[in-house]
Amino acid sequence: MNWGMFITLALVLAWIRWDKNQWNLGAYVRDILLLFVYVYLYTIIVMYLTNKFHLSISKYIRDILPMWFSGITFLLIICGFSIKGWRKIKREKDTLDSAGK
C-alpha cells in the first residue's frame, strides 16, 4: 500500500473540511475509511496490471506514479488557492462597486 499517497489525501481532506468549517469527526472518519478502500483498490489494480502485462514501461509505472500524484496534488492545491483568492477579490470589488453606486 502506498502510505504516502493515503496520508497526503487524508491531510488534503482534513484541510478542505477545516477550511469550509465543516469539521465533523464521524464524517471525517467515514471519508478516511472510504479513502483507504479507494487507495487500496487502486494499489491492487496497479500491481495486477503491472504484473499481468509485461510492457517495457509497466515496470516504471510503480516507481514514477507517486511523483506524478504528488505533482498533480500540489498543482490542484495551488489552483484552489488561486481560484479562492480571485473569487474573494471579485466579491470585494463587486461590494465596493455596489456601495459606490
pTM value is: 0.43
Average pLDDT over residues 15-32: 72
What pLDDT, on a 0 to 100 scale, did the predictor assign at position 39?
75
Given a cut of 70, is residue 67 above it in pLDDT? Answer: yes
Q: What is the mean pLDDT of residues 40-56?
A: 74
Q: Determine if residue 3 is left, alpha or beta; phi over 0 gives left, psi from -120 to 50 gives alpha, anything else beta.
A: alpha
Instruction: Give the model's pLDDT for residue 15.
Output: 73
